[in-house]
Each structure stands twice: as structure tokens, then as C-alpha cells.
Structure 1
Amino acid sequence: MSTEGQRALQHNEGLRRVYYNDSANNCTFGIGTLAHMGPCTARELGQPVPDPVIQARLGAGVRRAEQIVRDAVPDHTLTQAQFDAAVSFAYNMPGGARAALNPANRGDMVAVARNINAYVYVHAHDARGHPVGPPRRSDGLVDRRRREAAPFLVPPQPALGAAP
């Protein structure tokens, strides 16, 4: 993931130096790092998290997301912008990334963009991590998914020196 991609990921996720309940009511901290499914306990909520812990977990999460993207798209070379966007998506949706990115293997980037844009629903969870109630559309995810899908909608550029 490029430095620009890392900045975009941090913008997409935001930074919170305390434990908090995310939009799906899961205990989270740092840069979108899941502490555990379900809400934070009263003791966890608002508890500070040191920057070295945040950065270590972010690094591990990015490495995991990069590997998910490499595994999901072994048959097609992504541009740097596409790879960065795919890593951001996989960081946030590791379970859905393989299926969403699979059309890239046959060069169908429009299908990849369409798939990414479909992941805009959150599911609230109880203290045991079980889904509660119906999924709801998240405006924040709609905006994020548009940013992540955009590089897949850009026509490929010819290589330098190539004939038009």
C-alpha cells in the first residue's frame, strides 16, 4: 500500500485513541481496529489506547488486507490506486473482499466497483457478537465505498511511448 493509500485509509477509518462502539455497535479503537464483536464493556468504553498499540494493530491490519487483495486478484495487475482502494476495502470488509474483487481477475473493473458499492450496510451486534435487528444503510459507508470504487472506474492509461 502506498503512502497516499495509507493516508486515504486513515481518512476513511478516522482515528480514535479510545475504545468506542462503532456504527455496528462493535467495540473498536484506533483506526477502525475491531477490539471485539459486540459493544464495549463499561470498563472499556472511553479507555485510552496508546499510539504504539494503535500503530501496531494498524500495520498488522494493513498487511492482512494487502494479502487478502493479492489472494483475491492473482490473475490481473491492479494499478497502485486500485490496489490502495482494494486494501482499504479489505481492511474494512475482510470477509467480503474476495467476492467483491474477483471480477478484476477477468479485467471487469466496472463489476468490482459495483460490488464494492454494494457493501454499505451495517449490522448491529449484541454483547455476545450476535447480529441484532435488520441491517441498516450507512451514509458514511456510501461515501467511503464511492471513494474506494472510483479507481476501478478510471479507463486504463496507455503505457508511455505506446501508440494511441
Structure 2
Amino acid sequence: MMTGQLAVLSPNANMKMSPEARARMRAVEKNVYKYYNDMGKNKGHCTWGAGILAHKGVCTNEELGRKVSVKSVDQEFERRVADAERSVRRNIKVLINQAQFDALCSLTYNVGATGASGTYGYVNENDFAGAATNISKMIKVEIKAKGRKKLVIAPGLIKRREEESGPFRIKNES
């Protein structure tokens, strides 16, 4: 059983997302200063700011009219990046390098810790090829069409997942 002190000394306890990775993610997560549906008109999930999920399902008409400030977007982006960093530090039990940490933070920011848990499992087993494959498969989102839920490929996720899986396609040299 781990004591609180040993838990703090996890192999990635002092890692933070690199400034370059934060900048890349911020460029990918376009700033939109209003609420919008992430898959287009009446499709996907209600989102705002820098790819920030408001809730699953499409926005209401009231939400679509809601504007958000630059300050709100910046603050929420920083808060969610910090949440993603904590999740990766808490869930990854093996030593990873900076590129892998950055990739897992990006993935976690986008799908949440629960969504990333399968990938965490591969990483913790030192199965980096499995982690890369798992990340690469995460390109579909659930939408409602004609009252039914279905999974569709989100074109914007293809390049993102390719970048996130890249650090796991090479042997960990940390």
C-alpha cells in the first residue's frame, strides 16, 4: 500500500505540459467567443471557447446566442489544461517522456480522464504501440440524427490523434 508521501513521488509528479505543446493545442482548439455545435449545424455537442465542452448534445437556441469573453476562454482553457495535467500525473504510473506527457494531456483535455483511461492502461503496461493504436482509433464522436445516436468520424480529430499517438510510436527513451 502506498503512503501519501510515496504517491507524491510518482515518476511524473513534476511534469507540466510544455509551452510548445500548449501553444500547439491552443492553435488546434480555435477560439470561438460564443457557443456552437462542434460538428456543425444541429450536430455534435454544445461547445464554446477553445474546444470547451458545455454539455453533450446540441446547443439550445438560447445557448447559440450566448457570447463569451476572451478572459473567460483563457481562464477556462488554463483550468482545463491544469485538470488534464493532474489527471495524467495521477493516472500514469510509469515514467514517460515530455512528448508523451504532452500528448496525454492533449488527449485528456479533449476526451476527459474517463475517455483517456483505456490509453492510460496501455501506457501503464508499457504497451506504447497499444497506446498509439488506441489513440488513433479515437476519431469518432456520437451525434444524434433523426432521434437516433450514431458514431461518425470527426475529420478534425484525424490529424490531432495522429499527433497525439506519435510519441508512443517510438520507443520510450526517457
**Normalized against structure 2, the TM-score is what?**
0.80
**Are the equivalent residues in 1 in contact too, given 2:128–2:171 (CA < 8 A)?**
no
| CA shift for structure 1 position 46 | 4.5
Instruction: Give the aligned length.
Output: 153
Match of 2:105 among 68, 87, 91: 87
Given the alignment of the two structures, is residue 18 of structure 1 paired with residue 37 of structure 2, yes or no? no
Please give the secondary structure, in 2, of the residue aligned with 1:16. strand
Match of 1:42 among 46, 49, 61: 61
Q: What is the percent sequence identity of the aligned residues?
A: 33
**Are the equivalent residues in 2 in contact too, given 1:101–1:115 (CA < 8 A)?**
no
Q: Structure 1: which 4+ aligned runs deviate by more than 2 Å?
A: 154-157
- Give me the whole-angstrom Cα distance separating, in 1, the residues matched to 2:149 and 2:117: 26
Pairwise CA RMSD:
1.9
Bigger drift between 50-59 and 16-25 goes to 16-25
- 2:11 counterpart residue number: none
**Are the equivalent residues in 2 in contact too, given 1:37–1:125 (CA < 8 A)?**
no
Task: Show the 5 A alignment for 1:130-149.
Answer: 132-149=148-165
Given the alignment of the two structures, is residue 9 of structure 1 paired with residue 25 of structure 2, yes or no? yes
Task: Show the 5 A alignment for 1:121-160.
Answer: 121-125=140-144, 132-157=148-173
Please give the secondary structure, in 2, of the residue aligned with 1:89. helix
| CA shift for structure 1 position 21 | 0.7
**How has the CA–CA distance of structure 1 residues 46 and 7 changed in structure 2, closer, same or farther, with 3 Å as cutoff?**
farther
Cα deviations by residue, 1:64-84 (Å, 9 ceiling, x for unpaired): 11122122212x111111101
Please give the secondary structure, in 1, of the residue aligned with 2:61. coil
Cα deviations by residue, 1:45-95 (Å, 9 ceiling, x for unpaired): 143210111111111111111122122212x11111110110000111112
| CA shift for structure 1 position 107 | 1.8
**Uncovered stretches (5+) of structure 2, i.e. residues with no partner:** 1-16
